[in-house]
Amino acid sequence: MFPLQRGRRLRVNESIRSLVRETTLSPSDFMFPMFIAEGENVKVEIPSMVGIYRRSIDLTVEEVKELFALGIRAVNIYVKVDESLKDNTGKEAWNPNGLMQRAIKAIKSACPEMIVMPDVALDPYSIFGHDGIIENGDVANDSTNDALVKMAVSHAQAGADFVAPSDMMDGRVLRLRQGLDVAGFSNVGIMSYSAKYASAFYGPFRDALDSAPREADVEVPKDKKTYQMDYANRIEAIKEALMDVEEGADMVMVKPGIAYLDIVREVKNAVNVPVTVFHVSGEYAMIKAASERGWLDHDKIMMEQLMCIKRAGASLISTYFAKEAAIILNR
């Protein structure tokens, strides 16, 4: 009770504040999402994501080495697939010589200790831009799961440490766990996008991979709301995370990040596995745009948001700010 208790005593200077700080950040808290393109010496900036690039495998490998030197220990990788390779089956997704498979091999060869978590979903490979196979005007759950198992096993064969299913099909974690085990990859983990909301914050990401739903001559869903979660829901996120853990997920993810910190804490309280949070492309783009106009202090707001995500319960933060934040922390 005041005046015996004065909260400001613990805020007098930075030394005291750091002594009693409840949450801390380090580069090993971050995972860096990377976009990979065909070719050599290719580096193309994504217009809606200032400072983020699609890189060819050779330049991706060089970037991975830099990330590892900064203390970042995980990358989440996505590929920009040529239009000629897209169809409604997603078969290019498990091509042993596909771009993703070659990228995994190259990264693990150059930097064996970097944890590689390739994305598992069919939208980069789909002529319709959906995360699964279209049947009868909708995304077919079970046949999509069959395809995702082939995809995940091919990633494991290429050297992936974890697979990261972002598709939101029912039962896919169980099917992936069974498929990986049967193929001899019981030590390959699953980081499941358990609470992935149907969010407008993903726009810049879909620009990066050209993976937004498209109009077609056949009936297809106009958006991803039949499989991604309704952002009005909270209890559903807990249910999805618990189901994924029961099915064999080693980590669960909440996506997006800052706008969903209540969900992060709820999921953290409910599960007994690490919780990953995806600080998504739209959240990144907003900070970049506002700071370019002088409305926000870029580095301060970046670090504040990352700290808040960690404080909410994140064990790992997938963020496009990973490299910038690691440089600041290493200073």
Angstrom distance (rounded) from CA 153 to CA 181: 9
Cα 193 to Cα 47, 114, 190, 234, distances in angstroms: 26, 21, 9, 15
* Gap between the Cα atoms of 282 and 207, Å rounded: 11
Q: Mind telling me the catalytic residues?
A: 196, 255
Spatial distance between the Cα atoms of 158 and 197, rounded to a whole number of angstroms: 30
Q: Quick check: pTM over 0.85? A: yes
Phi, psi of 185 (to 5 degrees): -120, 50
Q: Which of 95, 158, 180, 166 is nearest to 132 (CA)?
A: 166
With 80 as the cut, is the pLDDT of residue 215 above it? no
Q: What is the mean pLDDT of residues 134-142?
A: 94
When pLDDT is cut at 50, 70 and 90, the band that residue 205 belongs to is confident
Would residue 210 be called left, alpha or beta, if left means φ above 0 and alpha means ψ between -120 and 50 degrees?
left
Q: Which residue has the tokens 């099915």?
A: 247
pLDDT at 203 over 90: no
Q: Is the Cβ–Cβ distance between 16 and 303 less than 8 Å? A: no
Residue 221 scores a pLDDT above 90: no
Taking residues 158-172, what's their average pLDDT?
98
**13 has pLDDT over 90:** yes
- 288: part of which helix (H) or strand (E)? helix 281-292
Q: For residue 207, what pLDDT band results from cuts at 50, 70 and 90?
A: confident
Summary mean pLDDT of the chain: 96
* Predicted local confidence at residue 211, as pLDDT: 64
pLDDT digits (tens, 9 = 90+) for 68-77: 999 999 999 9
Task: Tell me what percent of the residues of the chain surpass a pLDDT of 90.
Answer: 93
Length of the chain: 331
Question: CB within 8 A of 330, min separation 6: which ones?
Answer: 27, 70, 71
Query: Distance from CA of residue 187 to its chain's centroid?
Result: 20
Question: 84-105 pLDDT, tens per residue?
Answer: 999 999 999 999 999 999 999 9
